[in-house]
Amino acid sequence: MSNQEFKTPKADCSSCPHSEDRLKTKRCYPGDVCVRAMSGRQIARFFNVNPDLAEAYAGDDFWERRAIAARYLSQRRLLQMIGDPDEVVRRVLAYRLPVEALEALIDDPDREVRITVADRLPQDLLEKLVEDKDYLVRQYVARRMKPGRLFRMMTDPDREVRKTVAQRLPTESLGLMLGDAEAEIRQVIAERIEADALEPLLHDEDWRVRLTACLRAPLDNLPIMLEDPDEDVRAVARERLSDE
């Protein structure tokens, strides 16, 4: 590559509205601290030194100026930017808007915006994202929703979402997930469900699930496990019975 491709972007100070005040007082510097350069780093440095000018760039034509300026704007001004056409700007809004205003971004087309919303939204509004098209958004919902409200997510199409549900669902409700298609999830259930409800998992097709169940099941259920096809499962059953 030529040296020209690595050249630091520099704006023309002669046409800059800040050449008389900020430049002369050394609050900006061409090629380093500059709001007019097409450089995110220079713009960020400029607003770091001159946060009072963020308002003037909230409606700028360049998306990166708007996005960086938004970090310094009042929440009242941010509310006026909810419909910004650029997703990077809206991502900043999702982090900085007051939580009571986040509902306006629940259906945002950008996944990162909705993930941030799911991470900050008040719990009583989280159910509006339960059927989001993106599994990562739903996973954030499953991590934050009140355990007693997770029933709608027990059959989520994504394994990781269901795993999160299995890790947080009230123990008395875990029996509803005994038939999950993924052994990894059934193993989580075997680790958490009441011991008296483990019997179905002692016959699971996956040896890891049976092993986990065998470690916790009542002793009365263990004699049959001495004939399990897996040696590790049989060993656990023998050890627990012999200890008794």
List every span in the chain annotated with CATH 1.25.10.10.
8-100
- pLDDT of 59 reads 95
Name the average pLDDT for the chain: 94
- pLDDT of 244 reads 72
Q: Which of 21-30, 117-126, 174-183, 209-218 has the lowest mean pLDDT?
A: 21-30
Beta bridge partner(s), residue 9: none
Assigned CATH class of 8-100: mainly alpha
- Give pLDDT tens digits for 60-118: 999 999 999 999 999 999 999 999 999 999 999 999 999 999 999 999 999 999 999 99
Are the beta carbons of 113 and 90 closer than 8 angstroms?
yes
- Give pLDDT tens digits for 178-208: 999 999 999 999 999 999 999 999 999 999 9
Instruction: Read off the tokens for 169.
Output: 């669902």
What percent of the chain clears pLDDT 70, i.e. is strictly above it?
98
Are the beta carbons of 148 and 126 closer than 8 angstroms?
no
Closest by CA to 178, choosing from 141, 219, 137, 206, is: 206
- pLDDT of 1 reads 43
Beta bridge partner(s), residue 29: 33
Are the beta carbons of 93 and 105 closer than 8 angstroms?
yes
Give the separation between CA 78 and CA 89, rounded to whole angstroms.
10
Give the separation between CA 77 and CA 145, rounded to whole angstroms.
30
Mean per-residue pLDDT, 15-30: 87
Are the beta carbons of 216 and 238 closer than 8 angstroms?
no
- pLDDT of 3 reads 47
Q: Which of 4-18, 93-107, 127-141, 150-164 has the lowest mean pLDDT?
A: 4-18
Buried b / exposed e across 72-82, counting CB within 10 Å, b at 16+? Answer: bbeeeebeebb
How many residues are present in the chain? 244
Mean per-residue pLDDT, 21-50: 92
